A and B are shown apart, each in its own frame.
Chain A
Amino acid sequence: MASSHGYPFEKRHCLSIADFHRPDIESLLSLGEHYLDLSVQKSSERSVLAGKTLVNLFFENSTRTQKSFELAGRRLGADVINMNVANSSVKKGETLLDTAATLNAMNPDILVVRHGASGAPALLSQKVECSVINAGDGMHEHPTQALLDALTLRQAFNGDFGGIRIAICGDIAHSRVARSNVQLLNMLGCDVRLVGPPTLIPSNADRWGADVFHDMETGLAGCDVVMMLRLQLERMNGAFVPSKREYFHFYGLDRTKLGFAKPGALVMHPGPMNRGVEISSDIADDPDISLITQQVETGVAMRMGILHALSDAQDGIA
């Protein structure tokens, strides 16, 4: 099942987009697409992960990602355990590797990790026997978000979105979503642009394989898709940008700025949104142009696909 163009999917972990080659990505997207069908997704035959244990290990608070993985795991028949480490052992002073050793002793099959420090899931993956999925590490990567965004685009553009121009806008510097998406969309042949104030774009981001723009008018010109990123509240009040109103005035997506993009351009946002800061409500809620709800919907299916592929690879099914 989990193969594409004759290349078996043999990866043990899902830590970074850079770990995958194009056939891996195609395999994952095909599996994700398979689970988009709700009758497949919700079928009572929950055999793929039957007998396997999935542990959600979240060192940072999260609602949507954690619930998305939980639902994906349960729909595939796994035993799912949520560990909100943010409130327990870490506070008692346990180190990451001690936590890893403890968990390893419980013999889970898949560990879904979110951590505030870049590289933490990779470190953990070296100390446990099971598969590790990076559910967001610091400002490094969020590969499952990038995959679900790619799947959303594949659906929106009827399977072929190579060659589209997509602008990722806002707080690029602190965004793991942006880093994963730039890599993945580049691999899939998209023309990727980064748009934001200079304080929120790393000074060498033009070497990531994306063109950098500091104003929306030139940045959005000719774009088929505009992906807005969340701006954390604490970065707004004079630290990285002067104020909410100035940010919205120059970088918030409203009808005028969307008008700089191609007619009929689509809008994405990984959520949660700050309405009136990076995106206006009338755009976020317009079903003709907003893919935001589809992104959430696709999230569960895509994560089922990833779990499925990793599980098959563990069992040597190619």
Chain B
Amino acid sequence: MTTLTLTNARIIDPETGRDEPGHILIDGGQISGIGPAISPQGDILDVKGAIAAPGLIDMRVLTGEPGAENRESIASAAQAAAIGGVTSIVIMPDTNPVIDDMSLVEYIQNRGRETDISVLVAGALTKKLDGKTLTEIGMMSERGAVMFSNGATPIADSLIMRRILSYSARFNALVSNRCKDPALTNGACAHESDFSSRLGLNGSPSTAERIMVERDIALAELTGGRLLIDMISSEDAVNAIRNAKRRDIEIASSVSINHLCLNEIDIGDYRTFAKLDPPLREETDRLALLDAVNDGTIDVVVSAHDPRPAGEKRLPFAEASPGAVGLELLLAAGLSQVADDKLDLMAFLKTVTINPATLLDLPSGRLQEGAPADIVIFDPSKPWVCNSDTLSSKSNNTPFDTRRMTGKVMATLSAGKLVHNSFSE
């Protein structure tokens, strides 16, 4: 392992709130020294005043491997992640076959080891995601599954959800559940509003989300299970979570970067790249979500990376697949909201570094001596224009195409290795 020093950085460590100029000494894949008083050793990378923060941990990444490698492979997702400053990704279990068994957990881990970043696995909550049959949460945890999810389909049956939360508590396993009432969202492809009804699209109301959020909070309270409310999208859900946290119920929630940047108007003239699940909602919802990130009500911001080939998107709106790629844009899109004064930089960085690290019990997510040298270097004010054709994912379905962005990833280090460097460009 080589010794490397990042010089002239603005060091931001969201766990301690540190924000000061200094150098970072990297040795053996770990941070061996950090601060203004460090004397540079070994190779030098002068970052010229750019921000150095912990590499991002993205808790919600879908690939097509196994089963649909044409959408995205683990290798191509890892490459996109490195470009986006993401050094750890949690792979969702809704693949073909579903990751509902120890051997499949190990398969993903093995594929992940072939990449330059940390690839972590979320096991399925139910066999084949059937919503009924518990999986071997204990044995998958022992093999290193960091959390459990039922993918895009929520656990509809309250009894099953109760048993899952209760059973997983024994292993202190993190249970992530999509928050949408299945009956109220059946057949919907947009947010239920004046706008979607004019477009003639079936909408689902924010209430469908709130009902599931409230149910899962109540079940977490009953069982003592560790709940992550997966990807909220509405002000109603924010209020429910804020109330629960006020009552000291230990739950966590996430939001996708798309819902912090976009609203229902972005589906405009039936733009299927902005068709998402949950759907983009109203501007008031977006502002409530941003506030909730700023005040810590929302714990985690995810990319919700969901690669879809053109064939799944070039369809009438109701028939197109939902989802957008996001690994390369998560940080830049968040920084654009920071530049717009909508997001607080430190609050945002917490949700993509130390908060996921704490939930998943990872040593990364912090810039401290002894921590893994997973580091992102970014220029928070550099302007650029998003061009979907230049994305390195196998699929390039992004609602940010042609948008002006503020803030760009300059370099990424994963375990001390420079896995992306655009200083030379």
Which A residues lie at the B interface, using CB under 8 A? Answer: 197-199, 203, 214-215, 237-243, 245-246, 249-250
Contact = CB atoms under 8 A, between A and B. Distances in A.
Interface in B128-149: 132-139
Contacts of A239: 133-134, 163
Contacts of A241: 134, 167
Contacts of A199: 163, 166-167
A241 B133 CA distance: 9
A198 B167 contact: yes
Given A198-B223, A199-B163, A203-B222, A215 B136 contact: no
Contacts of A237: 133
B167 A250 contact: no
A113 to B, nearest CB: 31
Q: Nearest 9 A-B pairs (CB), nearest first?
A: A238-B133, A198-B166, A246-B136, A242-B134, A214-B170, A238-B134, A242-B136, A199-B167, A199-B163
Contacts of A242: 133-138, 167
Contact of B163 (A215, A240, A246, A249): A240
Interface in B12-37: none
B162 to A, nearest CB: 9
Interface of B: 126-127, 132-139, 163, 166-167, 169-170, 222-223
A195 to B, nearest CB: 11
A198 B132 contact: no
Say what secondary structure dominates the interface of chain B: helix
B101 to A, nearest CB: 10
A238 B132 contact: yes
Given A203-B222, A214-B170, A215-B170, A250 B163 contact: no
Contacts of B138: 242, 246, 249-250
Say what secondary structure dominates the interface of chain A: loop
Q: Which of B132, B136, B223 has the most CB of A within 10 A?
A: B136
Given A203-B222, A246-B136, A238 B167 contact: no
B132 to A, nearest CB: 7
B167 A197 contact: yes
A238 B127 contact: yes
22 contacts: A197-B170, A198-B166, A198-B167, A203-B222, A214-B169, A214-B170, A238-B127, A238-B132, A238-B133, A238-B135, A239-B133, A239-B134, A240-B134, A240-B163, A240-B167, A242-B134, A242-B135, A242-B136, A242-B167, A245-B136, A246-B136, A250-B170
Nearest to B167: A199
B324 to A, nearest CB: 33
Given A199-B163, A239-B133, 5 more contacts: A197-B167, A199-B166, A238-B134, A240-B163, A246-B136
A238 B129 CA distance: 12
Contacts of B134: 238-242
A38 B139 CA distance: 48
B139 A198 contact: no
Contacts of A214: 169-170
Contacts of B133: 237-239, 242
A240 B223 CA distance: 14
Contacts of B127: 238
A199 B222 CA distance: 12
A193 to B, nearest CB: 16
Nearest to A215: B170
Q: Which of A215, A239, A246 has the most CB of B within 10 A?
A: A246
B126 A238 contact: yes
Q: Which of B133, B137, B138, B223 has the most CB of A within 10 A?
A: B138
A4 B163 CA distance: 46
Contacts of B222: 203
A39 B167 CA distance: 50
Contact of B139 (A197, A215, A249): A249
A22 B135 CA distance: 45
Given A203-B222, A238-B127, A243 B136 contact: yes
A199 B163 CA distance: 6
A199 B135 CA distance: 14
B227 to A, nearest CB: 15
B142 to A, nearest CB: 8
A237 B132 CA distance: 10
A242 B134 CA distance: 5
B71 to A, nearest CB: 29
Contacts of B132: 238
B169 A198 contact: yes
A52 B28 CA distance: 86
Nearest to B132: A238
Contacts of A245: 136, 139
Nearest to B139: A246
B136 A198 contact: no
Nearest to A214: B170
Nearest to A237: B133
A214 B171 CA distance: 9
A232 to B, nearest CB: 15
Contacts of B170: 197-198, 214-215, 250
A203 to B, nearest CB: 7
Contacts of A238: 126-127, 132-135
A203 B223 CA distance: 8
A237 to B, nearest CB: 7
Contacts of B163: 199, 239-240
Nearest to B126: A238
Contacts of B137: 242
Contacts of A240: 134, 163, 167
Contacts of B166: 198-199, 203
A198 B138 CA distance: 12
A3 B305 CA distance: 76
Contacts of A243: 136
A198 B135 CA distance: 15
Contacts of B223: 198, 203
A203 B219 CA distance: 13
B226 to A, nearest CB: 13
A238 B100 CA distance: 12
A238 B133 CA distance: 4
Contacts of A249: 138-139
Nearest to A196: B170
Contacts of B169: 198, 214
